[in-house]
Amino acid sequence: GDSVTQMEGPVTLSEEAFLTINCTYTATGYPSLFWYVQYPGEGLQLLLKATKADDKGSNKGFEATYRKETTSFHLEKGSVQVSDSAVYFCALSNYMEYGNKLVFGAGTILRVKS
Amino acid sequence: KAGVTQTPRYLIKTRGQQVTLSCSPISGHRSVSWYQQTPGQGLQFLFEYFSETQRNKGNFPGRFSGRQFSNSRSEMNVSTLELGDSALYLCASSLGFRQETQYFGPGTRLLVL
């Protein structure tokens, strides 16, 4: 079945450091790819999405590019802030699976120190 | 536009009881999905409803069930609660039914004692 693999955390960075969180996927067909973020005590917020190969999703300084040749969707940010501390989830939605079902990675905890 | 709302936000139940959780989707959204989040298993898909019909179901026992009403609001029910059912239950809504972006509510945290 479809699956998503994320780099394990926690990832600890100093403020203004560069962030990369790796995400790779296994799926048949042409899935859509997502990054969601979860702050303590809250639900998931959509951070960005990409629906086809070579699409770049971007939001709030975060970017990710859909790479079909490497089946990857790595999350990057040029300069992190303390307020970016949260759990980040990579996910896919595969129309061949029927419907909007999301398959999630395990999540990566990000801690940013001031 | 108001987001996805879930009630109650917190629940404490004992083993063997049953529980019903409620979800109101974003206005105009017709699809509602439910997910269970636990530290051990992560985020797992429970089921998705669209136009009052269950369209997809995850690998959960029959104790987990749901329904959707004509106004797109959804409920999920867990019968004969087990300790392992303690989790954050998240509801997500989307506009349509095929590869649409899902927007999540704040979740209901269920503790089974």
Chain segment B68-108, per-residue pLDDT in tens: 999 999 999 999 999 999 999 999 999 988 778 899 999 99
**Cβ distance of A34 and B103 shorter than 8 Å:** no
For residue range A43-68, list pLDDT tens digits in order: 999 999 999 999 999 999 999 999 99
Query: Torsion angle, CA of B93/B96/B101/B107, rounded to 10 degrees?
Result: 10
Residue A100: the pLDDT is 86
Does the pLDDT of residue A97 top 70, yes or no?
no
**Residue B16 Ramachandran class (φ > 0 left, ψ -120 to 50 alpha, else beta):** left
Task: Name residues 6-65 of chain A within 8 A of B (Cβ).
Answer: 32, 34, 36, 42-46, 49, 51
Determine the residue of chain A that is closest to B55 in CA distance: A99
Rg, Å, chain A Cα set: 14
pLDDT (average), residues A84-99 = 88
Lowest mean pLDDT among A71-85, A88-102, B17-31: A88-102
Does the pLDDT of residue A99 top 80, yes or no?
no
Q: Name the average pLDDT for chain A.
A: 94
**Cβ distance of B104 and A98 shorter than 8 Å:** no
**Cβ distance of A107 and B43 shorter than 8 Å:** yes
Does the pLDDT of residue B1 top 80, yes or no?
no
Under the banding of pLDDT at 50, 70 and 90, the label for residue B2 is confident
Residue A98: the pLDDT is 66
% of chain B beyond a pLDDT of 90: 91
For chain B, how are helix, strand and coil distributed in percent, rounded to 5? 5, 55, 45
CB A89 within 8 A of CB A9: no
Q: Name the average pLDDT for chain B.
A: 95
Is A114 part of the contact surface with chain B (CB cutoff 8 Å)?
A: no
Does the pLDDT of residue A96 top 80, yes or no?
no
Burial group, residue B67, by CB count within 10 angstroms (0-12, 13-18, 19+): middle
Which chain B residues are Cβ-neighbours of A43 within 8 angstroms?
4, 6, 90, 104-107
Q: DSSP per residue over A18-70, as a string?
A: -EEE-EEEE-SS--EEEEEEE-TT--EEEEEEE-STT-EEEETTEEEE-BTTT
Q: How far apart are CA B110 and CA B50, in angstroms?
A: 25
**Cβ distance of A101 and B92 shorter than 8 Å:** no
Determine the residue of chain A that is closest to B42 in CA distance: A106
Which of A46, A104, A107 lies nearest to residue B103, judging by beta carbons?
A: A46
**Cβ distance of B48 and A100 shorter than 8 Å:** yes
